[in-house]
């Protein structure tokens, strides 16, 4: 007993000392590894030979470009399948980081759920701005268009009950999270870079948004390492088997064209769980407002697309958030005021499909 | 004793259980908080009034741009002064992340040292690509120029003993970490955005590289929250008190012009510790190779600048790495093969100046 008491006391004090840097910070993220890299892309070489005395002469010089930029974090005790998050049109990896109103985005929320998280800047965007072809950037004011099209409201009014902060600083951050393309947008090139990422990291779950929705289906048809897709408000690129495509859908914004692909390619999308989420304030009847009517046809075609997948043995689900009582979401459910709720919804999907 | 033995056993088992997620991962980063935001910038508004039925018409629409993008991480038990890392010409925040050969960069190395780390994309670059003015991007091949000017070697040969990997994949990553300006580079605008960042976060240490060196002195003359500067191979913007500027220095690359400022402004730089680091393979005699000769004049003027600061009561140090036995460094000592050694050198500076 003379031995036992000091012995246990020593063990306790040692254990408590070790706890100090960890258990006293229950809110701390435990990151096993983090980093960044470029993936995909190509190299062009100007004819001629490089003259070191004329460094400004492009003759014989190379240009590496059209790659994707990736920033990743792997938490301690990580789950097996990483989440690869791909932004939408005019956006970049920032979308998944801090929300416009300053809260944690999906990047950090899912790290806390022990998922490895990879954020993409697609080729010719943000940190992947180095392109192999020239670009012209107009800097044309267009933010009221996006305010309406991303369904924050009807400029300058926010929708009643919309899941977006009324703090002007939030709108300021929101507008500043867009970035221009540094060269013409090339979907095939984007898909190739994302497929190259999955070649590098192996099996994972692709999380897409808006414009990357359609490119995401293409990437999944190319790369079997894409084991599931979570798509927030996909806005284009709905692929149907040849002969099964619905007629184009006309809105006051545009005419939404379905895409026909060989049945064999389409069937590849029936081998993985797919979930689509759409937010609130999408009109059910034709509207003269293009920013809103745009989503009426997209939601309608998404429903037909999910039916087609399941008709062919797929495992696709469309969740229209208001129909399950989650109201006020914009085009960005992952960064809206209720993004902890939408994250929980996505986490439950991953769990239900044994992707966790 | 009947009580004590089980009691201590319970405490022990509980403590050991709590340790599982932490002490079993000694290499894990403990991040208390991380996120991103835009800072600085301006807003332009097109004349006219916005018509929601014509969303593509810029009339009456706004454009938020010319801000900096910032990604930050605050470790558990953080030191008081954050490190704000500012990239050089043609580069972005990526420079401080994973090195071209895949090792940890200064971002993660200094998080491990418990410093909060803020990474900047300056306005019109990378994730801060949204500009208020138009831009034209040429996509002109120029990588052999940078290979030579950043002193990896004389293309295609690496310098003997250079601190850069011979793995072709490292060079591929290195070339892909450059990004174009999305609009004309504007130093005043960049300085204003970085000063706005220090207004937001309070006192900190500014870490600059190459082209941000000169802009960094300007920011420090504007914002007293910049408490110290660590500058890797500053390449321009050497400010001298009016009447004390040395003559311009001619190299086969260009003519390096000193900048005259009022003595009162210059004196602001004497109130903080400043250290400059330069790497290896800088010629001591004029060279016909612009990529190398460029650094001969810059190192020479940096020495005069440090003398001027100290003559006026400053606390400036210039460390030419080969002179202290650290050889082979390129223009990027913070991502070179020996970056753990250069990080340790910087950490010792911060410690010596009571900035830790």
DSSP string over A15-72: HHHHHTTTTT-TT-EEEEEEEEEEES-EEEE-SS---TT-TT--TT-EEEESPEEEEE
**Using the beta-carbon criterion (under 8 Å), do A176 and B138 form an inter-chain contact?**
no
Residue B1 clears pLDDT 70, i.e. is over it: no
Q: For residue A9, what pLDDT is reported? A: 44
Q: Which structure tokens are listed for B47?
A: 């004349």
Please report residues of A whose CB lies closer than 8 A to that of B185.
none
Q: For residue A5, what pLDDT is reported? A: 40
B42 close to A (CB below 8 A): no
C-alpha B54/C-alpha B355 separation (Å) is: 55
Q: For residue B3, what pLDDT is reported? A: 39
**Using the beta-carbon criterion (under 8 Å), do A127 and B121 form an inter-chain contact?**
yes
Q: For residue A68, what pLDDT is reported? A: 98
**Using the beta-carbon criterion (under 8 Å), do A139 and B126 form an inter-chain contact?**
no
Percent of chain B having pLDDT more than 70? 93
Nearest to A97 among B35, B92, B178 (CB): B35
Q: For residue A11, what pLDDT is reported? A: 42
Q: Categorize the per-residue pLDDT at A19 as very low, low, confident or very high, splitting at 50, 70 and 90.
A: very low
Q: For residue A25, what pLDDT is reported? A: 67
Please report residues of B whose CB lies closer than 8 A to that of A140.
58, 63
Q: For residue A193, what pLDDT is reported? A: 98
Residue A210 clears pLDDT 80, i.e. is over it: yes
B63 close to A (CB below 8 A): yes
Average pLDDT, chain B: 94
Percent of chain B having pLDDT more than 90? 92
Mean pLDDT value across residues B233-255: 97
Length of chain B: 356
Q: For residue B23, what pLDDT is reported? A: 46
Q: Categorize the per-residue pLDDT at B203 as very low, low, confident or very high, splitting at 50, 70 and 90.
A: very high
Mean pLDDT value across residues B97-126: 98
Percent of chain A having pLDDT more than 90? 92
**Using the beta-carbon criterion (under 8 Å), do A136 and B138 form an inter-chain contact?**
no
DSSP per position, A235-304? -S--EEETT-PPPPEE-SS-EEPPEEE-HHHHHHGGGSEEEEEE-S---SS--S-HHHHHHHHHHHHHHH
User: Cβ(B347)–Cβ(B356) under 8 Å?
Assistant: yes
Q: For residue B25, what pLDDT is reported? A: 67
**Using the beta-carbon criterion (under 8 Å), do B290 and A53 form an inter-chain contact?**
yes
Q: For residue A15, what pLDDT is reported? A: 42
In chain A, residues 143-202 whose CB comes closer than 8 Å to chain B? 143-145, 148-149, 154-155, 172-173, 175-180, 182-183
B254 min Cα distance to partner chain A (Å): 12
Q: For residue A18, what pLDDT is reported? A: 42
Nearest to A38 among B25, B71, B173 (CB): B173
Q: For residue B7, what pLDDT is reported? A: 41
B127 close to A (CB below 8 A): yes
Q: For residue A6, what pLDDT is reported? A: 43
**The complex's ipTM?**
0.93
**Using the beta-carbon criterion (under 8 Å), do A12 and B11 form an inter-chain contact?**
yes
Q: For residue B291, what pLDDT is reported? A: 95
Q: Which residue of A has its CA nearest to B133?
A: A139
| Cis amide prior to A156 (ω within 30 degrees) | yes
Q: How many CB pairs under 8 A join A and B?
A: 283
Mean pLDDT value across residues A299-303: 98
Please report residues of B whose CB lies closer than 8 A to that of A97.
35-36, 71
Q: Categorize the per-residue pLDDT at B5 as very low, low, confident or very high, splitting at 50, 70 and 90.
A: very low
Mean pLDDT value across residues A92-118: 98
B76 close to A (CB below 8 A): yes
Please report residues of A whose CB lies closer than 8 A to that of B16.
15
Q: Which CATH number is correct for B5-27+78-117+141-352, 3.10.20.90, 3.40.50.1820, 3.40.50.720, 2.40.70.10? A: 3.40.50.1820
Mean pLDDT value across residues A3-26: 45
Q: Which residue of B has its CA nearest to A28?
A: B32
Q: For residue B8, what pLDDT is reported? A: 44
**Using the beta-carbon criterion (under 8 Å), do B37 and A98 form an inter-chain contact?**
yes
A312 min Cα distance to partner chain B (Å): 39
Return the DSSP state at A133: S
Query: Mutate which of B21, B34, B87, B156 to test chain A, going by most A C-beta atoms within 10 A?
Result: B34
Q: Categorize the per-residue pLDDT at B19 as very low, low, confident or very high, splitting at 50, 70 and 90.
A: very low
Mean pLDDT value across residues B52-60: 98
C-alpha B224/C-alpha B217 separation (Å) is: 12
Q: Categorize the per-residue pLDDT at B90 as very low, low, confident or very high, splitting at 50, 70 and 90.
A: very high
Residue B353 clears pLDDT 70, i.e. is over it: yes
Per DSSP, helices labelled H in chain B are: 4-19, 106-112, 143-149, 168-176, 187-201, 211-222, 263-268, 290-311, 339-352
Rg over CA atoms, chain B: 23
C-alpha A304/C-alpha A309 separation (Å) is: 9
Query: Mutate which of A34, A107, A174 to test chain B, going by most B C-beta atoms within 10 A?
Result: A34
- When comparing pLDDT for A15 and B43, which is higher? B43
Q: For residue B16, what pLDDT is reported? A: 42
Q: What residues have CB less than 8 Å from A349, skipping those under 6 apart?
A: A230, A273, A275, A317, A355
Residue A17 clears pLDDT 90, i.e. is over it: no
**Using the beta-carbon criterion (under 8 Å), do A144 and B15 form an inter-chain contact?**
no
Residue A13 clears pLDDT 50, i.e. is over it: no
A27 close to B (CB below 8 A): yes
Q: Which residue of A has its CA nearest to B114?
A: A21
């Amino acid at each position: 007993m003379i031995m036992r008491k000091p012995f246990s006391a020593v063990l306790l004090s040692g254990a408590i000392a070790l706890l100090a840097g960890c258990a006293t910070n229950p809110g701390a993220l435990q990151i096993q590894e983090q980093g960044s890299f470029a993936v995909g892309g190509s190299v062009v070489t100007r004819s001629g030979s490089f003259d070191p005395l004329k460094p400004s002469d492009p003759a014989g010089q190379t240009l590496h470009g059209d790659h994707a930029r990736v920033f990743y974090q792997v938490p301690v005790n990580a789950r097996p399948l990483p989440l690869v998050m791909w932004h939408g049109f005019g956006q970049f990896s920032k979308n998944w980081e801090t929300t416009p109103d300053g809260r944690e985005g999906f990047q950090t929320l899912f790290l806390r759920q022990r998922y490895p998280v990879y954020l993409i800047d697609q080729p010719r965007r943000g940190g992947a701005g180095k392109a192999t072809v020239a670009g012209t950037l107009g800097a044309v004011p267009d933010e009221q268009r996006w305010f309406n099209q991303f369904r924050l409201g009807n400029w300058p009014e926010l929708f009643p009950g919309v899941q977006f902060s009324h703090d002007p600083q939030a709108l300021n951050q929101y507008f500043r999270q867009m970035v221009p393309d540094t060269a013409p947008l090339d979907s095939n090139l984007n898909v190739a870079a994302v497929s190259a990422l999955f070649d590098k990291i192996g099996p994972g779950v692709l999380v897409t948004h808006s414009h990357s929705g359609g490119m995401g289906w293409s990437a999944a048809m190319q790369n079997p390492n894409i084991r599931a897709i979570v798509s927030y408000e996909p806005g284009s690129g709905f692929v149907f088997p040849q002969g099964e495509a619905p007629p184009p859908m006309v809105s006051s914004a545009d005419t939404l064209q379905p895409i026909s692909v060989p049945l064999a390619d389409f069937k590849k999308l029936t081998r993985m769980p797919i979930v689509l989420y759409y937010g609130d304030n999408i009109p059910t009847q034709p509207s003269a407002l293009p920013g809103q009517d745009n989503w009426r046809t997209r939601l309608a075609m998404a429903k037909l697309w999910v039916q087609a997948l399941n008709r062919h043995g797929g495992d696709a689900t469309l969740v229209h958030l208001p129909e399950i009582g989650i109201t006020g979401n914009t085009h960005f459910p992952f960064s809206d005021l209720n993004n902890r709720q939408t994250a929980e919804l996505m986490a439950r999907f991953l769990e239900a499909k044994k992707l966790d």
